[in-house]
């Protein structure tokens, strides 16, 4: 009988320990999810969405097209080296209503430009 009580006591201790571990892990998971959301938001703050550029104007080089467009459109912002500042440029796969291209005379898809830093985005 005493052996059974000892075993039950050990099992209760193990369950308590596992409960504490689970609660700690749940807290860590919650913290990590918050950090991930914060990181994603910070990465997106350097992005620009450019609307109204007709489909196909960028041909096969959207990055080069956006560099040329920025140099032409913002001559007063000569302090920014746009070829270094623009990291990525591409079209959104779908426009806001879920259409993948301008079939049927819809609006052209937006261009997404990822800039190196937030100050360049603010300058634009």
| 118 vs 32 pLDDT, higher one | 32
> Tens digits of per-residue pLDDT, 41-91?
888 888 888 888 888 888 888 888 888 888 888 887 776 778 788 888 888
| 101 vs 21 pLDDT, higher one | 21
Given a contact cutoff of 8 angstroms between Cβ atoms, the answer to whether 113 and 48 are in contact is yes
The b-or-e profile of 14-24 (16+ CB within 10 A means b, else e) is: eeeeeeeeeee
- Separation between Cα atoms, residue 109 and residue 94, nearest integer Å: 6
What are the residues facing 114 on neighbouring strands? 47, 88
Q: What is the pLDDT of residue 96?
A: 62
| 74 vs 111 pLDDT, higher one | 111
Report which of 86, 76, 108, 83 is spatially closest to residue 95, judged by C-alpha positions: 108
| 35 vs 75 pLDDT, higher one | 35
> Tens digits of per-residue pLDDT, 2-13?
888 888 888 888
């Amino acid at each position: 009988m005493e052996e059974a009580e000892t075993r039950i006591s050990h099992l209760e201790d193990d369950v308590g320990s596992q409960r504490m571990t689970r609660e700690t892990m749940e807290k860590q998971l919650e913290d990590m999810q918050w950090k991930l959301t914060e990181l994603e938001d910070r990465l997106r703050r350097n992005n620009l969405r450019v609307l109204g550029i007709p489909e196909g104007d960028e041909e096969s080089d959207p990055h080069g097209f956006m560099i040329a467009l920025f140099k032409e459109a913002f001559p007063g912002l000569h302090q920014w080296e746009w070829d270094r500042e623009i990291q990525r440029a591409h079209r959104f796969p779908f426009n806001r209503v879920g259409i993948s291209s301008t079939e049927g005379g819809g609006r052209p898809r937006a261009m997404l430009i990822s800039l190196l830093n937030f100050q360049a985005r603010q300058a634009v």
